[in-house]
């Protein structure tokens, strides 16, 4: 038999320290595993809050203020009431211009990436916050982003006429970008004659933007 030699005190202390560290890590791992997905989801979620009067949704990160309701509906202090109006692409652009002139506020159609931001794609399935945006039609909405794509159409098909076909002199249909508010999907192949809901956006009021910058 080989003689058993005692372990030096310094080696024993090092081994005990290693065991203690491994035990602490094992105890912490389940908690970290639970926190990590939540942290990722939180980081991906938009920083959206309702305004003091409830009529707008404020995005401190992009410095934008969204209409709480789509056009045609009104905020009654609790929810959006009425019926959503549908607009062609050109009608939606005209609506934003008229609103700007009437109110002196730079209302406009949102860009694709701005509108997609409202749909939290960190959740499965992706979702629009029904508290911040109540009674939102879960369908495609217009954006200001124009599409350079054209599509060959049959000028004699009624559906193509509805989507913007121009007859034999123009066998293409002009298209624009829209966002599906149920999934956050974006498409640049929406015929501009298609009638869709519209949600306008404007810059944050100066005082609100200043408050956000100090937080």
Peptide bond into 125 cis (omega under 30): yes
Instruction: Tell me the mean pLDDT in the region 125-134.
Output: 94
Alpha-carbon torsion 26, 30, 32, 37, what sign?
positive
Q: Which of 99, 131, 100 is nearest to 118 (CA)?
A: 131
Q: What is the pLDDT of residues 52-78, one digit of tens each?
A: 999 999 999 999 999 999 999 999 999
Residue whose pair of structure tokens reads 């009021």 in the numeric block: 205
pTM of model > 0.85: no
Q: What is the pLDDT of residues 85-102, one digit of tens each?
A: 999 999 999 999 999 999
Query: So what's the pLDDT on residue 13?
Result: 61
Instruction: Tell me the mean pLDDT in the region 23-29.
Output: 46
**CB contact set of 173 (below 8 Å; sequence gap of 6+):** 150, 151, 153, 160, 163, 164, 165, 166, 191, 192, 193
Query: So what's the pLDDT on residue 50?
Result: 96
Q: How far apart are CA 147 and CA 132, in angstroms?
A: 30
Question: How sure is the predictor about 121, in pLDDT bands with cuts at 50, 70 and 90?
Answer: confident
Decide which of 89 and 214 is more confident: 89
Q: Which of 139, 77, 123, 116 is nearest to 201 (CA)?
A: 116
Query: So what's the pLDDT on residue 134?
Result: 97
Name the architecture of domain 45-214. Roll (3.10)
- Asked which of 10-24, 117-131, 160-174 is least confident by mean pLDDT, the reply is 160-174
Q: How far apart are CA 116 and CA 176, in angstroms?
A: 15
Q: Which of 162, 173, 165 is nearest to 196 (CA)?
A: 162
Q: Tell me the average pLDDT of the chain.
A: 78
Decide which of 58 and 15 is more confident: 58
Decide which of 186 and 121 is more confident: 186
Q: Look at phi and psi of residue 78 and say left if phi exceeds 0, alpha if psi is from -120 to 50, else beta.
A: alpha
* Beta-carbon count within 10 A of 170 CB: 13
- Are 90 and 195 a contacting pair, CB within 8 Å? no
């Amino acid at each position: 038999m080989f003689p058993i030699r005692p372990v030096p005190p310094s080696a024993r202390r090092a081994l005990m320290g290693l065991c203690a560290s491994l035990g602490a890590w094992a105890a912490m791992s389940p908690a970290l595993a639970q926190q990590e997905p939540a942290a990722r989801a939180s980081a991906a979620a938009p920083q959206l809050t309702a305004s003091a009067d409830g009529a707008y949704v404020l995005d401190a990160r992009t410095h934008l203020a969204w209409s709480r309701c789509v056009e045609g509906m009104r905020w009654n202090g609790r929810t959006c009431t009425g019926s959503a109006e549908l607009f062609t692409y050109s009608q939606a652009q005209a609506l934003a211009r008229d609103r700007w002139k009437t109110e002196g506020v730079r209302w406009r159609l949102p860009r694709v990436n701005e509108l997609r931001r409202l749909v939290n794609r960190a959740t499965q399935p992706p979702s629009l916050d029904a508290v911040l945006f109540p009674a939102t039609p879960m369908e495609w909405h217009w954006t200001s982003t124009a599409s350079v794509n054209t599509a060959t159409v049959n000028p004699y098909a009624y559906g193509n006429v509805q989507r913007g076909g121009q007859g034999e002199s123009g066998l293409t249909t002009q298209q624009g970008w829209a966002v599906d508010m149920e999934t956050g999907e974006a498409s640049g192949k929406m015929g501009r004659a298609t009638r869709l809901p519209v949600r306008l956006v404007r810059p944050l009021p100066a005082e609100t933007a200043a408050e956000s910058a100090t937080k």
